[in-house]
Amino acid sequence: MKFFDRVLNPREIRRRLGMNQEQFWTQIGVTQSGGSRYESGREMPRPVKELLRLVHVEQIDLSQVKRVDFEIISYLKEAHPDLYRSLRRAARSRAAGQEPAALADVAIPAGADAFAPATVAPAVQGGDGHSD
């Protein structure tokens, strides 16, 4: 058994969150009965494990995640690794409740005025006037 499998105990996670099986499992597209089987020891497919980790452990609202977010992260990592590390540290400090470093302390590299890669299309305005 891998370390990740031992740590990712769905029943324990669900109980700590104070959710019933229906609430917990439907958030990641699994039926209550399927979730019950996973909690009883049936092997979870890797995509289900990842969804469980993202939604219930990392507390990520997947409806808010867009592909362009990952493209921007990838671009920052490649083109501006120092800026990426500074932003990551600031985000972790903020999440931990610490006072984040002042924005002025974040070194913005020369020529970093266009962070989005050229392959990223501009956001399309939805009928409500907001970008999608």
Dihedral (CA of 4, 77, 87, 72) sign: negative
Q: Is 35 exposed, middle or buried (0-12, 13-18, 19+ CB in 10 A)?
A: buried
Domain that holds residue 95: 67-105
pTM score: 0.59
Of all residues in the chain, what percent carry a pLDDT higher than 70?
A: 68
Q: Which of 57, 66, 69 is nearest to 28 (CA)?
A: 57
54 and 76 share one domain: no
17 and 44 share one domain: yes
Q: Is position 126 within any domain?
A: no
pLDDT of residue 117: 41
For 83-121, the pLDDT digits (tens) are: 999 999 998 888 887 554 444 344 444 444 444 444 444
Q: How many domains does the chain have?
A: 2
78 and 31 share one domain: no
